[in-house]
Structure 1
Amino acid sequence: MSPKELVGRVGLYVLISLITVFMALPVLWLLFAPFDASPTLSTSLPDWTGRNFGELLRNPDALPSIGISLVHALGTMALVTSFGALAAYALSRVKIPGRDGLLYALLLLSSIITGTAAMVPIFTLMTQIGLVDTQLGVVLVLTGGMLPTAIFILKDFMDGIPRSYEESARVFGASPLQILRDVVLPVVRPGLATIAVWTVVQVWGNFLTPFILLRQAERPAAVVVYTFYTEGGQADLGLISAFSLLYSIPVVAMYVFVNRRYGFRFHGGIKR
């Protein structure tokens, strides 16, 4: 290796190291600040204490809000995976004129018309059907916003399933629902896991929808965290950091579980 190549490679490694350190700073803050007696916005070794978690347990809204977030995430995940799988299977197997155009149009519209732009008509609709200030209304709105993308992704998995699998089941007298339940869904489980993780992550950090739709009902953690202030109106960094660490555990645990189970190595409908 020539000196010029050596200098270039060393420079590249130094640049990568600096970027890695820069990206790791928020994670280090999240790990250290909850245990610091006087946390600040800078990252440093903490003055170890458990007072922040004691204050978190005494807060009447903190732990219940995580339960509400779990209800929203799991409810939305169940609806998105269920309806997304049914719709994706139908679009994959049934020849409908303009099928691909319809699918791309749904995906495009869901990307262009964001939740912020659609919130006024959504709020009006929820008011008319009596679902404002209900957890069900939040789950349904979140489900509607994520279904187009879920259908688009799951259809790719459905397309990767050889039709011979279904034909063999049909020869033995299986009904369409039996084929879907016993043949198709077991093969596309990695795709369903992908959609489940994606849905939970999207719902877990969603602020706008529950903030707008929930008035008196209990609110999820993404909304409650914005209420953690001191009496002087300053952000309570001790409470925020402790709550943020606790708030991140379910998503990280789910990612580790799914990654160990499927490895996130997906190719079409069949894992390689």
Structure 2
Amino acid sequence: MTAVRTVLRRIGFYVLVALVTAFFALPMLWLVTAPFTRHPTFAVRWPDFTLANFRALGDDPNALPSLYNSAVLSLWTMLLTVGAAALAAYALSKARVPGRDAILYLLLLLSSVITGTAAMVPVFQLMFRLHLLDQDLGVILVLTGGLLPAAIFILKDFMDTMPRSHEESARVFGANSLQVFGHVVLPNVRPGLATIAVWAVVNVWGNFLMPFLLYRSPEKQPAAVTLNTFYTEGGQPDLALISTFALLYSIPVVVMFLFVSRRYGFRFHGGIKG
């Protein structure tokens, strides 16, 4: 009797796992098949293997350029975030600043409480006064400012795990502070830098609110905003264009994740997933 119960429990467990897997796999299956279906619906079905949807998407003057716009915003925001976070995290980790932990947690708390929705009016007014509306620089600076507190907090943990003896050895051989930072510190925290880089790119790649708020020209809009334009005049979604664009929109992030995962393996370093 006990053996029968054990078998029934295992069968029930495997059925549950199969149902949960199917629940999460069906949207992904739809995303892969719908772009190749001439008239896609919300149901998952065998595709027609047509490229008509891709040709229709190519006729949209803003669709494919918006992917380039997203790449530009993501790249520059990532570079600024990683660079500024590395400098700030190193200073907070190694320098004995009074109240540094309180400052760090306060920055993290404020960045969590004051979200983009709550700050959109003052951000818009600030960009208007600085004449940075409809400018890439304005959007990049706003996105970088929103990501920096959490990036500093995460990267500081990586800095804390690096032995101080490495820096002292470099200084003994005559290295200045900039050389120590560039040749000793950064190579030792590369997993942390990769973590921040991927995190920043993903956040900017999927950000809708700030680009929608700060850009005025349709040709400058990133992909997250352009995706919201594939609706008919009656408000009905154009599933052919939405599914095709969503597939192209998701490919760069997936490729980046696979590359970084293969390169760094997302091992645990210093208590944080690296």
TM-score w.r.t. structure 2 length? 0.96
Superposed counterparts of 1:68-217, under 5 Å: 68-216=69-217
CA distance in 2, matches of 1:195, 1:220: 21
Aligned residue among 254, 257, 260 for 1:255: 257
Structure 2: gaps of 5 or more residues: none
Tell me: CA distance 1:269–1:166, structure 2 relative to 1, closer, same or farther (3 Å): farther
CA distance in 2, matches of 1:52, 1:153: 42
TM-superposed CA distance for 1:5, in Å, is 2.2
TM-superposed CA distance for 1:80, in Å, is 0.3
Q: Does the aligned pair in 2 maintain the 1:73–1:200 contact within 8 Å?
A: yes
Q: Does the aligned pair in 2 maintain the 1:160–1:268 contact within 8 Å?
A: yes
CA distance in 1, matches of 2:233, 2:124: 33
CA distance in 1, matches of 2:273, 2:61: 45
Superposed counterparts of 1:214-225, under 5 Å: 214-216=215-217, 218-225=220-227
Supply the RMSD in Å over aligned alpha carbons.
1.6
Structure 1: gaps of 5 or more residues: none
TM-score w.r.t. structure 1 length? 0.97
CA distance in 2, matches of 1:178, 1:204: 33
Q: Does the aligned pair in 1 maintain the 2:36–2:47 contact within 8 Å?
A: yes
Amino acid of the residue matched to residue 174 of structure 2?
A: G
TM-superposed CA distance for 1:47, in Å, is 2.2
Amino acid of the residue matched to residue 58 of structure 1?
A: D
Amino acid of the residue matched to residue 3 of structure 1?
A: V
Q: Does the aligned pair in 2 maintain the 1:187–1:270 contact within 8 Å?
A: no
Amino acid of the residue matched to residue 48 of structure 2?
A: D
* Correspondence for 2:41: 40
Moved segments of 4+, more than 6 Å: 269-272
Q: Does the aligned pair in 2 maintain the 1:33–1:241 contact within 8 Å?
A: yes
CA distance in 2, matches of 1:74, 1:145: 15
Identity of aligned residues (%): 64
CA distance in 2, matches of 1:49, 1:8: 45
CA distance in 2, matches of 1:165, 1:142: 34
Amino acid of the residue matched to residue 50 of structure 1?
A: L
Amino acid of the residue matched to residue 224 of structure 1?
A: T
Tell me: CA distance 1:104–1:263, structure 2 relative to 1, closer, same or farther (3 Å): same
Deviations 1:5-57 (A, max 9, x none): 22122211111110010001110010000000110011111222110001111
* Correspondence for 1:8: 9
* Correspondence for 2:238: 236
Superposed counterparts of 1:19-38, under 5 Å: 19-38=20-39
CA distance in 1, matches of 2:47, 2:39: 8
